Amino acid sequence: MHLAYPAVLAALLFCTGLYGVLARRNAILVLMSVELMLNAVNLNLVAFDVWLRDTLHAGQALTLFTIAIAAAEIGIGLAIVLMVYRNRGTSDVDRLRDTAEGHEPHPNNAGDSTGTARPEVAA
């Protein structure tokens, strides 16, 4: 088996997932893109395990750990997205920058809920 075919496919999958993480605004689509990147890593692990003819099958063992971590990540991530959607009414990533409950920041960053002024942060 040529190693180039699964490596190129994994690179395409990873780049597609990276584009999804950077370009999407919906939190669910961002989580799906992260899963796509993890699947690209799994493909690389199995392909290199087969190519190296490892007797312990370490690549396949690491793939099982990655699948378990991905399942836990999607479960916790979906729970967080659902709670944010219930509280805020949106899952748009750009609108979720301010996480304080019931506090809408002033446009010129004049102060917080206690009335004290916050220092300006240079960008």
Q: What is the CATH number of the domain that holds 44?
A: 1.10.287.3510
Q: Which domain holds residue 14?
A: 4-92
Q: How many domains does the chain have?
A: 1
* Domain membership flag for residue 110: no
* Domain membership flag for residue 102: no
- Report the pLDDT value the prediction gives residue 90, as an integer from 0 to 100: 87
* Domain membership flag for residue 109: no
- Report the pLDDT value the prediction gives residue 92, as an integer from 0 to 100: 87
H helix intervals, the chain:
4-23, 27-52, 58-88
Measured at the CA of 89, the angle between CA 84 and CA 91, to 5 degrees, comes to 55
Task: Please give the radius of gyration of the chain, using alpha carbons only, rounded to the nearest integer.
Answer: 21
Binning pLDDT at 50, 70 and 90, where does residue 110 land? low
* Domain membership flag for residue 116: no
Binning pLDDT at 50, 70 and 90, where does residue 114 land? low
